[in-house]
């Protein structure tokens, strides 16, 4: 059983701040609040989502979204601090892209530009038609919405949660297995901080879930299902085993409240 060595200060402050900013002392029903999708594509940028304009878009993103909409695709922007080869792209309007599918598979495209975007769309649609479950790697990709210009709650709560998760993953030497990225608007400002986990396909919204999320991810187990806005992991990841975390949340939040004097 995984247990925290201690409550990381940054993570504690992040969760306390997120809880206050999003006014989620009582979490609403979350299931089904995420947009329906068969797969999602992240276009990587050199700019952090905290610096994105309110309406982040591009000609290529719009074109690709129109192409893949009927096959259940979502196209969004993301930023990852390390291992970027974006500066090597020949076309300044091109992107690296990563796609995650319901089947459990994921694919990376080194360069997506206006010359090959239709071919990439055809490839995505073909992969989406494959319904059989795929073996997943032990890598986990966590995307946190930090799109501040779209909603300050995402910028404040999301930014703190992303930084806290990244710091804790690094302290546990898990940076080769768990990757924490930031993403543009995913809908549901009131749920900030929004945390997306792939290849599981779960979208989390309760700020307190970051504790169990990271704990279960470090154990290579499924994250906590009870705070998920999306369920597409059910289709390929085997029986769902959700631990009872009510006592854990209660003790954690009690500790946070004592620490912050609330």
- The answer to whether the CB of 248 falls within 8 A of the CB of 216 is no
pLDDT of residue 241: 29
Compute and round to an integer the Cα radius of gyration of the chain: 18
pLDDT of 59 reads 95
Write down the pLDDT at residue 101: 93
The pTM assigned to this predicted structure is 0.74
Residue 2 belongs to what H/E stretch? none
Running along the chain, 262 residues long, what does each successive block of 10 average in pLDDT? 44 54 47 73 93 94 96 94 63 89 90 97 93 70 91 83 87 89 81 80 71 63 49 34 30 36 40
pLDDT score for 251? 34
Q: Which fold has domain 1-262?
A: Glutaredoxin (3.40.30)
Is residue 194 within 8 A of residue 182, CB to CB? The reply is no
Q: Where are the domains of the chain?
A: 1-262
Q: Which residue has the tokens 């905290």?
A: 50
**What pairs with residue 43 in β-bridges?**
77, 97
8 Å CB contact between 158 and 145: yes
88-95: list long-range contacts, CB under 8 Å, 24+ apart.
91/115, 93/58, 93/59, 93/60, 94/60, 95/43, 95/44, 95/45, 95/60
């Amino acid at each position: 059983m995984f247990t925290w060595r201690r409550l990381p200060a940054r993570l504690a402050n992040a969760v306390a701040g997120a809880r206050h900013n999003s006014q989620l002392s009582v979490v609403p029903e979350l299931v089904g609040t995420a947009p329906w999708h068969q797969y999602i594509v992240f276009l990587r940028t050199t700019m952090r989502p905290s610096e994105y304009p309110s309406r982040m878009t591009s000609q290529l993103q719009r074109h690709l979204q129109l192409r893949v909409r009927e096959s259940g695709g979502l196209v969004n922007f993301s930023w990852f601090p390390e291992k970027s080869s974006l500066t090597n792209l020949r076309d300044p309007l091109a992107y690296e892209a990563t796609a995650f599918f319901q089947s459990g598979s994921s694919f990376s495209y080194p360069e997506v530009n206006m010359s090959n975007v239709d071919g990439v769309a055809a490839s995505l649609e073909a992969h989406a038609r494959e319904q059989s479950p795929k073996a997943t790697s032990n890598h986990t990709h966590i995307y946190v919405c930090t799109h501040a210009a779209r909603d300050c709650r995402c910028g404040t709560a999301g930014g703190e949660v992303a930084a806290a998760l990244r710091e804790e993953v690094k302290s546990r030497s898990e940076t080769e297995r768990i990757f924490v990225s930031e993403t543009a608007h995913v809908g549901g400002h009131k749920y900030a901080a929004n945390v997306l986990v792939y290849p599981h396909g779960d979208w989390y919204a309760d700020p307190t879930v970051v504790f169990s999320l990271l704990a279960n991810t470090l154990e290579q187990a499924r994250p906590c299902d009870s705070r998920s806005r999306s369920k597409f992991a059910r289709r390929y990841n085997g029986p769902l085993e959700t631990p009872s975390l009510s006592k854990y949340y209660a003790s954690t939040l009690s500790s946070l409240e004592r620490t912050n004097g609330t």
